[in-house]
Chain A
Amino acid sequence: MQAFFDAASGAPPHPVARQALLAALDDGWADPGKLYTQARRARQLLDAARAATAEILRVRPDELAFTPSGTAAARLAVEGTRRGRQRAGSTLVHSAIEHSAVLYEAGDDAVSVPVDRLGRLDLDAWRAAVSRGGVALAALISASHEVGTLQPVAEAAEACAAHGVPLYVDAAQSVGRVPVPDGWSLLTASARKWGGPAGVGLLVVRKGTRWLSPYPENDGRDTGRDLPAIVAAAAALRAVAAERDAEAARLAPLVDRIRAVVAATVPDVEVVGDPVGRLPHLVTFSCLYVDGEALLHALDRHGFAVSSGSSCTSATLRPSHVLEAMGVLSHGNVRVSLHRQTTEAEVDRFLAELPGIVADLRAEAGVVGL
């Protein structure tokens, strides 16, 4: 049986999401902006989904918008704040380990703040970057989507507040998993990461934040609304929020076990990311002299679905910018990310089979003992 270890890309649908989606397909297909009975029903569903999601995020419902994806939400966060703060400046300060969607949106007018070997933000460099004038926005991912290291959001927010710079937090890997510290002005997330449907992102813009929609014709935030998917996303979030702490307490020791056993049983492996200040469900390691693509295929043949930051596994053939920013090995890289359906038995089978899989690949490549 296939063990799915790539929840950080998209978790398997939560059973509650499936139920809610099917119900909303029957009940919530009308345009909630219209004035007839079916539309009012759709409007009720949308309002209820927004209220439930806002309550979990501890924000006001009118601060929250649904977008077609986490990527769309990230782009709206950056572009809308740049538009709203034109008079203050145009520069985007961001960590070197933001999601590629944020880096793409950043463009050339940006300052990248480095991270250390564990993937944690350099706070002194961050403070210096947000204190120079002309900064429209500062962007910090809540926790690295590639190595799991939690970022010092509260300290970064303090530095931003001291200089009147809004902070945007990409919380895609944290929502439904771990609490996100306060102090930010904008936040985005993606429903598929918590077991909701793929086509739903969240954008929160706190009151008082200067943000102007790039699509002013409809206030632009609730773009491309797929109401049944939104209802399903909200239902799934409510379910995962209720079981969040218990799941974190169950998955964190499994990740600890992977970190310890991989380091002990696979020769020449570098387990990366902060061993303590990290997400409960995600771990990354790199195997010296092993081709990442070959490793992914071999693991898939053995029934393990994982992701990789190695260049040979990416469309651009570039190594992960996160691993580069940390200065850790990028080849032979594997990211394992767990979810509510992950069992201890699956993890133990992975740990039992991995050393042999890596040894076989090294033997084929003639690199044993190098």
Chain B
Amino acid sequence: MTVLDCLGQRCPLPVIALARRIPEVEVGAVVRVLADDPAAANDIPAWCRLRGQEYLGATTVDGSPAFDVRRAR
């Protein structure tokens, strides 16, 4: 799984990092975004909806929020 460390970055930077990486992974692969900006929890699922990608949900990695996205197309 690809992990993007966006800790300390303000929105929209984590969403931009995700949008850059998604085309580089295989369809079906999962990208995990580590992001502690409070807007990430809202904007990553919203980006997935707008872009037709699959939002898998939020989790916690070493105490930091993490968001998993599967490339759907």
CB within 8 Å of B: which A16-30 residues: none
The answer, among B19, B38, B50, for a CB contact under 8 Å with A318, is B38
Residue of A nearest to B38 (CB): A318
Residue of B nearest to A328 (CB): B46
* 9-residue interface stretch from A87-95, A133-141, A186-194, A309-317: A309-317
Contact partners of A327 in chain B: CB under 8 A: 42, 45-46, 49
Contact partners of A324 in chain B: CB under 8 A: 42
Q: CA–CA, A317 to B8, complex, Å? A: 13
B43 on the A face (CB < 8 A): yes
Q: CA–CA, A231 to B37, complex, Å? A: 45
A246 on the B face (CB < 8 A): no
Count residues of chain A with CB under 8 A from any CB of chain B.
23
Contact partners of B50 in chain A: CB under 8 A: 268, 270, 288, 329
Contact partners of B20 in chain A: CB under 8 A: 370
Question: Would you call B46 and A289 a contact (CB within 8 A)?
Answer: no
Contact partners of B57 in chain A: CB under 8 A: none
Q: CA–CA, A330 to B42, complex, Å? A: 7
Residue of B nearest to A332 (CB): B12
Q: CA–CA, A268 to B38, complex, Å? A: 22
Residue from B12, B15, B19 whose CB has the most chain A CB atoms within 10 Å: B12
A291 on the B face (CB < 8 A): yes
The answer, among A311, A312, A330, A370, for a CB contact under 8 Å with B19, is A370
Q: CA–CA, A288 to B15, complex, Å? A: 9
A367 on the B face (CB < 8 A): yes
Question: Would you call B39 and A289 a contact (CB within 8 A)?
Answer: no
Q: What is the interface of chain B mostly: helix, strand, loop, or mixed? A: helix
Whether A310 contacts B47 in the complex (CB less than 8 A), given A331-B12, A367-B16, A370-B19, comes out as: no
Question: Would you call B43 and A329 a contact (CB within 8 A)?
Answer: yes
Contact partners of B38 in chain A: CB under 8 A: 311, 317-319
CB within 8 Å of B: which A278-312 residues: 288-291, 310-312
Question: Would you call B39 and A370 a contact (CB within 8 A)?
Answer: no
Question: Would you call B12 and A291 a contact (CB within 8 A)?
Answer: yes
Query: Digit string of B32-59 for contact with A (CB within 8 Å is 1, else 0)?
Result: 0000011100110111011000000000
Residue from A288, A317, A328 whose CB has the most chain B CB atoms within 10 Å: A288
Contact partners of A263 in chain B: CB under 8 A: none
Query: Digit string of B16-28 for contact with A (CB within 8 Å is 1, else 0)?
Result: 1001100000000
Whether A312 contacts B45 in the complex (CB less than 8 A), given A289-B16, A319-B38, A331-B39, comes out as: no
- 9 contacting pairs across A/B (C-beta < 8 A): A291-B12, A310-B39, A311-B38, A319-B39, A319-B42, A324-B42, A329-B46, A329-B47, A330-B42
Q: Give the interface of B toward A (CB within 8 A).
A: 10-12, 15-16, 19-20, 37-39, 42-43, 45-47, 49-50
